[in-house]
Amino acid sequence: MRYSQPGMTQSAVRLHRWDEIALEKVTEMLSRKIVSGDREMLVQSYVKRGCLVPMHAHDSEQMTYVLHGALKFLVGGEEVTVREGEVLHIPPGIEHQAEALEDTFELDVFSPIRNGWIGTGENNDAAD
Instruction: Determine the pLDDT at residue 7.
Output: 52
Cβ-contact 42, 124 below 8 angstroms: no
How high does pLDDT run on average in the chain?
87
Phi and psi dihedrals of 117, rounded to 5? -95, -15
Task: Give 42 or 10, the one with higher predicted confidence.
Answer: 42
Question: 57-76: per-residue pLDDT in tens?
Answer: 999 999 999 999 999 999 98
From edge to edge, which strands make up the β-sheet containing 52-56? Answer: 52-56, 96-100, 70-75, 78-83
What's the total number of domains in the chain? 1
Domain extent, residue 101, equals 16-114
115, pLDDT greater than 80: no
Which of 4-13, 39-48, 106-115 has the weakest average pLDDT?
A: 4-13
Residue 121 lies in a domain: no
50-70: string of b/e by CB count within 10 Å (b at 16+)?
A: ebebeeeebebbbebebeebb
Whether residue 50 is contained in a domain is answered as yes
Q: pTM, whole model, 2 decimals?
A: 0.82
| Residue 42 located in a structural domain | yes
The percentage of residues in the chain with a pLDDT greater than 70, rounded to a whole number, is 83
Residue 71 lies in a domain: yes
In a domain, 24, yes or no: yes
The CATH number that applies at residue 60 is 2.60.120.10
Residue 38 lies in a domain: yes
Using 50, 70 and 90 to split pLDDT, how confident is the model at 126?
very low
Are 24 and 75 contacting, i.e. CB atoms less than 8 angstroms apart? no
